[in-house]
Amino acid sequence: MSKKMRLAKFLAECGVASRRKSEELIEEGRVKVNNIVVTDVATTVDAFIDKVKFNNKMLEIPSKGIILLHKPRAVISARQTEEEERKVVSDLLPKKYESYFPVGRLDFESTGLVLMTNDGDLAQVLMHPKYNFIRVYEVKVRGKLKPQDASKIRHGVKLDDGLVQAKIEVIKELENSTWIKIAIRIGKNRVIRRLMEKLGYPVEKLKRIQHGPFKLGSIPVGEFEALSYKQYEALRTNIFNEVKEKERLKKEYKDKKFTKLKKKLKR
């Protein structure tokens, strides 16, 4: 059995640091491979054979997995921050999950589902805009949402960084505010807040309840649920099968379009 990879990727999968930061650590001479200091970032290692040490501590890639975390308000969606007084999502997990990182971001003021994983490939797929994995939010906005504004959201509202479309439904109307559910397939920074503010409905509360096939459910605020390896494997397989199908359909559409164009040019 063999699992060859770049040394920086190995360090990242062990939870030492990001790939870019890991390259810096290698260049600083803080990494040994088979008891020899390595400073070349192009070095590759076999995760099952080579013995890798960081600061003289033996490293081993942990088993892959995923955690569903209910992020509280005033917690940053990151593994670490330079602002020591601020808490990050990694602070809410036991030490055995120190290699896990958040999949995307949920802003400082918002609460709800943050996926945590040490599977870089899975995280990349869930975040990548071309795969359009759904995010669902429960949002309390100031004012009564007008039907024409809900229609605008469904058809698309132009923001500074592009057109934003979303499914929207009213959950509950209060005297001076409205609870709505928004389902969106893009992960732009503060997109829900910017969308609603553009239409004149400032967000008072925002909670993410779903990301892709993962749902928050009844996990209490500040708590988490670690999926079993069997659950993780099944969901990962389903996600990558969905991605392959999307890519197949996209290629099929392009091929049909190209064939039609060729026929048109021959006339």
Q: Judging by DSSP bridges, how do beta strands 101-102 and 87-88 pair with one another?
A: unpaired
Catalytic positions, written as ranges: 107
- Note whether 75 and 61 are within 8 A (CB): no
Calpha distance 267→264 (Å, rounded)? 6
Q: 235 vs 96, 122, 218, CA distance in Å?
A: 22, 10, 19
Calpha distance 170→67 (Å, rounded)? 30
- Note whether 76 and 27 are within 8 A (CB): no
